[in-house]
Amino acid sequence: METSHQFETIDRLQRVLEHLKEKFVGKDDIIDLMGICLAGRENLFLLGPPGTAKSAMVRELSKLLNGKTFEYLLTRFTEPNELFGPFDIRKLREGDLVTNTEGMLPEANLIFLDELLNANSAILNSLLMVLNEKVFRRGRENRPLPAVMIVGASNHLPEDEALHALFDRFLVRVRCDYVDPALLNKVLDAGWNLEKPAMADQPEISAEDIFAVQAMIHSVDLQDIREPFINLIEMLRNAGVKVSDRRAVKLQRLIAASALLCKRTKAILSDMWVMRYIWDTEEQQEIIAGIINSVVEADVNSPQVHPRAADHTTPNAEEIYKEVKTMTEKWDDAGLALSERTIIKDRLRYLNGRSEWISNETQRAYVKQPIDSLWQKIIHSA
């Protein structure tokens, strides 16, 4: 009976995630990872240019979460008071350093730090404590945070060594790009509907429900995947991916979260799909995906497998090559409408970006050649 009640809570979380997928076209992978991080109480980092719905997704999630939300855009000049609150003047007169945290980060259930990597040394140590231990510490104050998840976002990766430590506290990293131009019509519809007042019957979940799911993490049996997990860690390390012992321990929570969201209390091989998102550099993304997929693919037909396990994000060089060749033939048609030419240009930009993710240099060069040739035709016809 208790397990059945707990799975009802997971159903509520899944309905929230499905609602977000309806609102944000082409962002299913990011929303599924939000669910994983909510269940596993781990931090999520979004990397992408402005205008890719990073903030909008977090704000929409905050509307569905019956709890407190804190959002802040960091700059190089952000001071601790702006995040944690000012010192209480009345207490200060009495010689006691107490922070007035009302409406600030220490009281929030969902925390979103935009342009995270603008953080300066004045707030760095405090943020590290918040991210790593979910604890607010300032002066003699020391209290646990009620945060169910912390999301950070940036349009670039860290360059300064101090910021690498901050970035390292985000176990899950995912790119948030512009969606495929072929989906633009759906994006426009979804964006238009996003502006409408919230429906009365939209799904909701409380912070207490999320904490209940997080408490179930250690009820998941990981024993059957322990040996393959250790082997996978070794494979990643041998490929040059830094997986510290601390991160390896934390990854177990994400694997368990994948099982829980599938309403299982036993982890299976395919739950290790979450490890695709532990890259440190963009160059590592394809390398890690290839290693993880080699293990996960053997298990994607198991019952109750997480749908994201079978999702292969690796670009297919041959498919891109054929599509660009077809687009080139269309472009050469003198009777092609202006609107069709605009569609081709948008699609070519998208495919050019996708081609950068092809790890094999020979295949990447193979694809780049017709892309560059078509760009030259477009430029000369302008």
Is 200 part of any domain? no
Is 208 part of any domain? no
Same domain? For 158 and 267 the reply is no
| Mean pLDDT, rounded, of the chain | 88
342 is in which domain, residue-wise?
A: 317-381
Rg of the chain (C-alpha set): 23
* pLDDT recorded at residue 93: 61
For 121, residues 6+ apart whose C-beta sits below 8 A from its C-beta are 162
The residue with greater pLDDT, 179 or 22, is 22
> Nearest Cα to 306, choosing from 54, 35, 44, 25?
35
Same domain? For 262 and 329 the reply is no
Same domain? For 226 and 122 the reply is no
243-275: per-residue pLDDT in tens? 999 999 999 999 999 999 999 999 999 999 999
Same domain? For 259 and 343 the reply is no
Same domain? For 84 and 26 the reply is yes
What is the Cα–Cα distance from 35 to 198, expressed in whole angstroms? 21
Is 147 part of any domain? yes
Same domain? For 101 and 13 the reply is yes
| Domain stops at, among 145, 162, 194 | 194
| Domain stops at, among 310, 331, 362 | 310
What is the Cα–Cα distance from 210 to 231, expressed in whole angstroms? 31
Our count of domains for the chain comes to: 3
Same domain? For 47 and 21 the reply is yes
What is the Cα–Cα distance from 191 to 24, expressed in whole angstroms? 8
| Domain stops at, among 143, 159, 194 | 194
CATH code assigned at 97: 3.40.50.300
Same domain? For 65 and 13 the reply is yes
What is the Cα–Cα distance from 69 to 61, expressed in whole angstroms? 10
What is the Cα–Cα distance from 13 to 299, expressed in whole angstroms? 25
Same domain? For 141 and 273 the reply is no
Integer angstrom CA distances of residue 326 from 320, 323, 330, 340: 10, 5, 6, 13
DSSP structural state of residue 115 = T
What is the Cα–Cα distance from 17 to 24, expressed in whole angstroms? 11
Same domain? For 327 and 306 the reply is no
Alpha helices in the chain (DSSP H): 2-23, 28-40, 54-64, 80-84, 89-93, 121-133, 161-168, 184-194, 207-215, 226-238, 245-261, 284-296, 317-331, 338-355, 361-381
* pLDDT recorded at residue 89: 67
Average pLDDT over residues 124-144: 88
Is 289 part of any domain? yes
Is 37 part of any domain? yes
Same domain? For 295 and 356 the reply is no
Same domain? For 68 and 116 the reply is yes
Is 336 part of any domain? yes
54-69 in b/e form (b: 16+ CB < 10 A) is bbebbebbbebbebbe
pTM of the model: 0.80
* pLDDT recorded at residue 141: 80
Is 203 part of any domain? no
pLDDT at 1 over 50: no
Is 140 part of any domain? yes
> Nearest Cα to 260, choosing from 82, 34, 35?
35
Count other Cβ atoms within 10 Å, centred on residue 380. Answer: 7
* pLDDT recorded at residue 381: 81
Q: Which two tokens stand for residue 307?
A: 């749908």
Cα 182 from chain centroid (whole Å): 23
